[in-house]
């Protein structure tokens, strides 16, 4: 596994931790306001980019 892939794994985990924190803030109902929904969407997009890097590095 390349350094780039390893870095992507760690970045994805950090981003998921941020998303987990957001969900803890909104527990127990997880009713996100507009700003929180935007944060969640941004985090999900960032995780997807990291996963794409991981897939690219592992398949080549």
> pLDDT digit string (tens) for 13-24?
999 999 999 999
pTM: 0.87
- The pLDDT value recorded for residue 60 is 73
- The pLDDT value recorded for residue 7 is 97
Residues spanned by the domain of 34: 3-59
Closest residue by Cα to residue 59 from 8, 9, 6, 1: 1
pLDDT at 49 over 80: yes
Domain tally for the chain? Answer: 1
**Cα torsion at 6, 10, 15, 20 (round to 10°)?**
130
> pLDDT digit string (tens) for 27-42?
999 999 999 999 999 9
DSSP, collapsed to helix, strand or coil, labels residue 2 as coil
30: left (phi over 0), alpha (psi -120 to 50) or beta: left
């Amino acid at each position: 596994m390349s350094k780039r892939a390893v870095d992507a794994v760690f970045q994805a985990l950090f981003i998921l931790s941020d998303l987990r924190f957001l969900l803890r803030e909104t527990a127990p109902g997880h009713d996100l306001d507009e700003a929180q929904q935007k944060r969640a969407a941004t985090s999900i997009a960032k995780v997807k980019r990291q996963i794409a890097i991981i897939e690219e590095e592992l398949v080549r």
